[in-house]
Amino acid sequence: MQFSGVIFDFNGTLFWDTKLHNKAWDIFLTKHNLHLSDEEKFQKMHGKNNRDLFLSIFNTPLSDEEIARYIAEKEGLYQQLCLETDMQLAPGAVDFLDFLKKENIPFTIATASGKENVDFYFEYLPLTRWFEYDKVVYNNGRIKGKPDPQIYQLALSVISKQPQDVIVFEDAIAGLQSARNANAGKIIVVNSNDDDYTDWKDCPIIKSFNEVDRTQFSK
């Protein structure tokens, strides 16, 4: 089967930052006398938007101001950790993105990250080489969080493609379910953190974008 469009999740997919997010969460949770294992983060947190996460973590109603304050605190920790590393895109991502651009295959990003992190990525990663900021779909406070399909449905409209024509690259369980709920033509799991994808064995699993078969794409 041939595909003519691509949608990427970002965190843990194009940018392998799961360990940094987990470390930032650990610092944040410890400060607030809370704890989650990395497995709990993978199963319950990864791929979801911050508003849903904080409501779940604190298990109590929170005002918009409280949520905004927690987001700024946690993402500030995360961004500082990023800046202490050699920030690079995922293995093989540069060559694959160059291929898509050269072949005029439409693609975009659908990420649960908020604007504060999207702005950060565009400042510190070479994303403008391939992506237009205004065409990135991110958590703007109005989009339903993954596993709801809305974020991928919006991304499909951005690249003017039907679900069956598109390959989605994802790493998080909530994101994989979101792509499935959006009826993506093909879902490829990006195993960036050696996580358990037992329930997703029907999907190809890669550890580098160099593994992606270029012949399955048509313009």
Residue 44 clears pLDDT 80, i.e. is over it: no
| Domains of the chain from N-terminus onward | 5-16+88-216 (3.40.50.1000), 18-83 (1.10.150.240)
Residue 216: its pLDDT value, please? 97
Q: State the sign of the Cα–Cα–Cα–Cα dihedral 41, 47, 50, 53.
A: negative
Query: What is the reported pTM?
Result: 0.89
Residue 215: its pLDDT value, please? 97
Residue 59: its pLDDT value, please? 79
HEC assignment per residue over 73-127: HHHHHHHHHHHCCCCCCCCCHHHHHHHHHHCCCCEEEEEEEEHHHHHHHHHHCCH
141 — pLDDT class (breaks 50, 70, 90): confident
Residue 202 clears pLDDT 70, i.e. is over it: yes
3-state secondary structure of 59: coil
3-state secondary structure of 205: strand
What mean pLDDT is reported for the chain?
A: 93
CA distance 36 to 48: 15
CA distance 5 to 164: 10
Q: What is the pLDDT of residues 96-126, one digit of tens each?
A: 999 999 999 999 999 999 999 999 999 999 9
Residue 49 clears pLDDT 80, i.e. is over it: no
50 — pLDDT class (breaks 50, 70, 90): confident
CA distance 5 to 209: 15
